[in-house]
Amino acid sequence: MSKPDFQRIKRFVLRIEFVPYVVFTVIGVAVLYVLGGIALTAFRNGSLIPPPTQLKRYDCNAVGSTFSLYYLHGTDRVQIKTVNGLLDGKVQNNRFDWQGFGDDRSLLGFAPPSEIVFDDGKSLRVSGPDLKDVVCVNTVPAGSQRRAIAP
């Protein structure tokens, strides 16, 4: 077996034709890494779309009514649930949009709240026509609100 000719290898490496081999190899490895990560995440979730995030439940006790407010900070969806019914709405700039039912007292038994006065991870303070600074508390542990995708 002959000794490797280091001068010949050095000339090959320093030539301009060697650069595309390195560049294309690095790009190819990066592309395979990204596609592999996407495929692994899609396999874990069961699809390319991430699993839906469940809204957090806040239990509210107001004068004359008890209700649950389903809300997740950072999303624009909100639900309010009483023994009389359920109302879906949207949140924008800490104000509720109940889509035409903002002053309707017949659906829930009271007018739904119109704004979020205070919000942190464990409590909400809401206010509205029939509700003045009602504190709503998240009493459900965080682990029980996670939602798994069925196989």
Cβ atoms within 10 Å of 62's Cβ, excluding its own: 18
- pLDDT confidence of residue 30: 97
The phi and psi torsions of 2 (rounded to 5 degrees) equal -90, 155
Residue whose tokens read 């019914």: 85
Per-residue pLDDT of the chain (151 residues; tens, 9 = 90+): 567 788 887 777 777 777 788 889 999 999 999 999 999 988 887 777 776 678 888 898 887 778 888 888 777 888 888 888 888 888 888 888 888 776 777 777 788 888 888 878 788 888 888 888 888 888 776 555 455 444 4
Helix, strand, or coil (residue 52): coil
> Residue 32 gets which letter from DSSP?
H
Q: Are 60 and 126 in contact (CB under 8 A)?
A: yes
**pLDDT for res 141:** 64
Amino acid (1-letter code) at residue 125? R
Q: CA-CA distances (angstroms) from residue 132 to 57, 71, 115?
A: 20, 19, 10
| CA 29, chain centre distance (Å) | 30
Q: Please state, as a whole number, how many other Cβ atoms lie within 10 Å of the Cβ of residue 60.
A: 21
What is residue 142's predicted lDDT score, i.e. its pLDDT?
58
- What pLDDT sits at residue 6? 80
pLDDT at site 150 = 44
Q: Where are the domains of the chain?
A: 6-45, 56-145
Per-residue pLDDT at 37 = 93
